[in-house]
Amino acid sequence: MIDSQTITSTRPYLIRALHEWCVDNGFTPHLVVSVDASVQVPQEFVKDGEIVLNVGLDATSALKLGQDFIEFKGRFGGKARDIMVPVERVIAIYARENGQGMSFPLYAPHVEKLTTPTPTNLVSVPDRSKVEVSDVRNFQLTKVESERLADDSDNEPEPPRTSTSGPRPILKRIK
């Protein structure tokens, strides 16, 4: 008989699979991480106890999507930083371009009675200390939610955007 304590978590496998899916389809994978003392990220980029990390191949160096930790080097505000995130602190992985991905409940080993949450997305999230570890739901962010998270997620600050009405600027090459 298999003991539930000997079974490994599906979370690292799903993170790796969705990361690969994003890369294979030309999307930019982003992780949403619940930050605590075990998470090594630049604290100045943490908002409301969470940080969104661009884990695309162009944004990272030495990316390791391990069983227990996700590690990479990334640039924040032009400065290279070592990032280390315990897999258990990842609460979502999604494609920036279309918001498709998966959310995960936050592990709650100290909670005795677990309850099942209602369907969630990244904007209205139930009290994560009461969600069941095996309760993983697919999600698709709305355009507004996806843009909000994408704006928060860039490791490099973007210049202010101008009005989107009108045609896109055209670069003309002069010889």
Q: Check pLDDT > 80 for residue 109.
A: no
Is position 89 within any domain? yes
d(CA 64, CA 83): 10
- Return the minimum-mean-pLDDT range out of 1-15, 93-107, 136-150: 136-150
Report yes or no on 21 lying in a domain.
Answer: yes
Residue 90 lies in a domain: yes
- Residue 90's domain comprises 11-101+137-152
Q: What is the pTM of this model?
A: 0.62
- CATH number, domain at 27? 2.30.30.220
- Please provide residue 89's backbone torsions phi and psi, each rounded to the nearest 5 degrees: -90, -5
Among candidates 93, 99, 117, 131, which has minimal Cα distance to 14? 93
Strand blocks (E) in 55-153: 60-65, 69-76, 79-86, 90-95, 100-103, 137-140
In a domain, 15, yes or no: yes
106 band by pLDDT with thresholds 50, 70 and 90: confident
Q: Are 82 and 73 in contact (CB under 8 A)?
A: yes
Q: For residues 54 and 150, what is the distance between their CA atoms, to the nearest angstrom?
A: 9
pLDDT, one tens digit per residue, over 51-99 is 999 999 999 999 999 999 999 999 998 899 999 999 999 999 999 999 9
Whole-number percent of the chain with pLDDT over 90: 53
Phi, psi of 70 (to 5 degrees): -110, 120
In a domain, 122, yes or no: no
Total domain count, the chain: 1
Contact 14, 67 (CB under 8 A): no
Quote the tokens at residue 13.
């496998």
